[in-house]
Structure 1
């Protein structure tokens, strides 16, 4: 099982971090040990002093595929949820300044939290998924999938040019603006449309 992540997929988020808007999907990976499944707490890593949350739509691949055409991408996933791409921002900033990979900042244990999956066909508007994300009861992020630079079908097609997609692979599709720092005892909740799918507490 692979965890494939797309960076800078919303213009406002790229701008809030001072990054250029990409001319193709930015891809990075997380290992299986990064997965944090529903009902489990997240433990604040000792190696960072600036942990950030990034909430995003996550799709689960249901069919093996390679060189998938965008028009056929909808056949390769059936379920969707919300996830948190936890990021050690201070570590990432140091690595970026040196031109080094981001794995230490993005791919550590438990850094890919996911919620409960729901069928894609059950969504009110699959072409424009709406989600909200709350920190300690206060809304901090809101996303609409039609604001993605690269929609889900394009992401699947692009990723499959480089990596064979396998059943069970997860794709984190990028975060909107509003990312921020989190601390011990924070409680996060993510709602896809009107359904709470994600709940994570920082220990």
Structure 2
């Protein structure tokens, strides 16, 4: 057999061993297969000010995490290549139907449901990337960087347009805000993102975090709550 055929066979075998990512759907016994993970950067004014990076007059923007960064396990490994591992708690939107250049008026028709999620960040690496004008991959797009709770279908909870969002670390509240403070709300996020990418069922959108972000250490326990959704509880290990 030619050497390239052997290599192709080996690669195909490895591909078959890749485990798809699924998130439980509340009250259904079914799971949501994750296709892509989008994130919104700088979507809360107070967070822009606390980070002291970027112009608060600029609109939010999008970046991505790899699909297998999503994890539903409650034990989040402390990553390599950082001494400043930080939490960013936020609302997650799950897309249920194809959306391409949709208007804000119809954007919510494409939302399947909502969840609570964490955009875990290697802050030292992110700041280095900012200083050097490089993409954020080292700071944002690494293994286990997107813990996500179960998805609540719109059919069960309606659209999450407002409500409290807070996160505690070892019982002490660190982030405490409301969804109404988002610069782009959900229908604007979906509309804007659909102009840049064709959204498909299985896509997740992490909608940005409010102020109060900070570092965690091994052994810390995080509990994030968004009004109307199941809490997200993780331990850093």
Q: Same fold (TM over 0.5)?
A: yes
Change in 2 beyond 3 A, CA 1:118/1:64: same
Give a deviation string over 1:34-68, Cα, whole Å, max 9, x none.
1111x341110121000010000001000011011
Alignment map for 1:4-15 (pairs within 5 Å): 4-15=38-49
- Kept in 1, the 8 Å contact 2:116–2:229? The answer is no
Tell me, yes or no, if the aligned pair for 1:190 and 1:196 is still in contact at 8 Å. Answer: no
1:27 aligns with 2:62: yes
193-202 vs 24-33, which moves further: 193-202
Shift in CA distance, 142/119, structure 1 to aligned 2, threshold 3 Å:
farther
SS of equivalent residue, structure 1 residue 159: helix
Where relative contact order (Cα < 8 A, 6+ residues apart) is larger, the structure is 1
C-alpha contact (below 8 Å) 1:117/1:197 kept by paired residues: no
The partner residue of 2:119 within 76, 82, 85 is 85
Whether the 8 Å CA contact 1:25–1:155 is kept in 2: the answer is no
What is the CA-CA distance between 1:121 and the residue it aligns to?
5.5
* 1:61 counterpart residue number: 95
Which residue of 95, 100, 123 corresponds with 2:134? 100
Q: Greater CA radius of gyration, 1 or 2?
A: 2
**Alpha-carbon shift at residue 143 of structure 1 (Å):** 2.6
Structure 2: runs of 5+ lacking an equivalent: 1-34
Q: TM-score, normalised by structure 2?
A: 0.81
* Alignment correspondent of 1:45: 79
Unmatched segments (≥5 aa) in structure 1: none
TM-score normalized by the length of structure 1: 0.94
SS in structure 2 of the partner of residue 58 of structure 1: strand
Aligned with 1:170 (options 195, 204, 219):
204
Q: How do 1:122-137 residues align onto structure 2 when only pairs under 5 Å count?
A: 122-123=156-157, 126-137=160-171
Q: Is the 8 A contact 2:116 2:230 kept in 1?
A: no
Q: Which of 156, 164, 176 is residue 142 of structure 1 equivalent to?
A: 176
How far apart, in 2, do the equivalents of 1:25 and 1:160 lie?
14
The 10-residue stretch of structure 1 (44-53 or 128-137) with the greater mean CA deviation from structure 2: 128-137
C-alpha distance in structure 2 between counterparts of 1:170 and 1:15, whole Å: 26
Distance 2:48 2:177 in 1: 14
Partner secondary structure for residue 99 of structure 2: coil
CA RMSD of aligned residues (A): 1.6
SS across alignment from 1:126: coil
Cα deviation, 1:91-149, whole Å, max 9, x if unaligned, reads 11111111000001100011011012223455588331322211111111123121111
Pairwise CA distance, 1:30: 0.4
Q: Does the CA contact (< 8 Å) of 1:189 and 1:196 recur in 2? A: no
